[in-house]
Amino acid sequence: MARGSATYQLALDPAPPVRHLGGYERFVEFCTGQGVEAAELAADPVRLFGFLRTFGQDIAADAALKQAAGVFAGNTLARARPDAEWTAYEGAPAMVGTDGLQFEVGRLLDALREVDEATLQGFITKVSEWAGDRPDEPIVQPQPAPLPAARAYVPPVLPEDTYYAEDGSVIPYGRRWGDGPPDTDSYSVTSHPERFAGLHLVARALIDHLAAVYDVEVREDNAVAADLVVDVRDVVAPIRVMPRAAGAAPLTFVLTGFPGVVVHAGVLHDFPFPVCGCDACDETVQTEADRLERMVLSVAAGGYAERYPVGRRRWREYALSAFDGSGAESGKGEPGPIDEARLSEAEIQLRDVPGGWEPWPLRQR
């Protein structure tokens, strides 16, 4: 994605989710011609799949009929769950589903006609499980506590350097690709990683701030690098900052030789700075420093929450509310390569903070 900036205005009446599309009348007529009630198929996705497989050749031979059948199938899937909806993006085919599973109805019709019986049964099982799931309750958005102005964090001044391409021209990091897409070969190239060296300076400044303002224990030890849930190579300095309060989330900073910083927050989530660092992403030390500072200060202010396990798929989830009210973010996904013992321990720990991690205790002056 090309980097850039834009101004947005919050819609007073945001558009509701699309759960039903028109344009399927041709398919209803086809069902009637086969002696089948379309309403019965709409109430039973498995029966609909069987019908589409049986008459797949006839449907595929008529473009208008295939289009109508796709709309009908998408509406049936959207009906199967209260949180399912249609989505469409410019230049991409329409999809229907939820955050956890999306269906491209055009490909679905082709697949139902072409796959073998074992694959079909596996797909039907997957859809049946998906349809039987209920949407998870949204994670509680944490509310950070404001820090007294006298104890506010003062960011360090980052050095400003100029970087050059092979042809001697200046590289305008952060604006390198203008309004267009990155060069296709820039995704596999990382030039001038040294431009992120200032992140080590920011991490040290944040650690000093946390130690001065909050009642914490700071430990710089190679052993604390094991707090990360991802494998990080070329570790330069691992520092854990542990608040002296049971309900407050610890932070572990791992400075890497890239150079970069990975922060482990709470029990199950790591946050890398920069996220990638390749030429295509066009990140800058200033934007990554801003992200790092906002994330760390928000956790300390009590603006961080985690959940595990979430739903039948036992995902992990986090929510972060900015300490200064500037915004919020969240993320959810599979736990990844985390051993079961650690996941079990995290599940127990997170039961004690269902509303999010507490603000760190302030150091008494």
Given this model, what pLDDT does residue 150 score?
A: 87
If you ran DSSP here, which 8-state letter would residue 156 be given?
P
Name the region of 258 (left: φ>0; alpha: ψ -120 to 50; beta: rest): alpha
Q: Which pLDDT does position 15 carry in this prediction?
A: 73
Give SS3 for 26.
helix
Sign of CA dihedral 156, 161, 165, 171: positive
Distance CA 5, CA 84 (A): 31
Tell me the chain's radius of gyration from C-alpha atoms.
Answer: 26
Q: How far is CA 197 from CA 49, 175, 232, 234, 273, in A?
A: 56, 19, 17, 14, 11
- CA torsion sign for 343, 346, 351, 353 is negative
| H-only helix segments in 115-246 | 117-132, 198-213
b (16+ CB within 10 A) / e for 56-85: beebbeeeebbbbbbbbbbbbbbbbbeebb
What is the chain's pLDDT, residue by residue, as a tens digit (365 residues)? 334 455 566 656 667 899 999 999 999 999 999 999 999 999 999 999 999 999 999 999 999 999 999 999 999 999 999 999 999 887 788 899 998 789 998 899 999 999 999 999 999 999 998 998 888 888 999 999 999 888 999 999 998 899 998 899 999 999 989 888 898 888 888 999 999 999 999 999 999 999 999 999 999 999 999 999 999 989 999 999 999 999 999 999 999 999 999 999 999 999 999 999 999 999 999 999 999 999 999 999 999 999 999 987 899 999 999 999 999 999 999 998 899 999 999 999 999 999 999 999 999 87
User: Rounded to two decimals, what is the model's pTM?
Assistant: 0.79
Peptide bond into 259 cis (omega under 30): yes
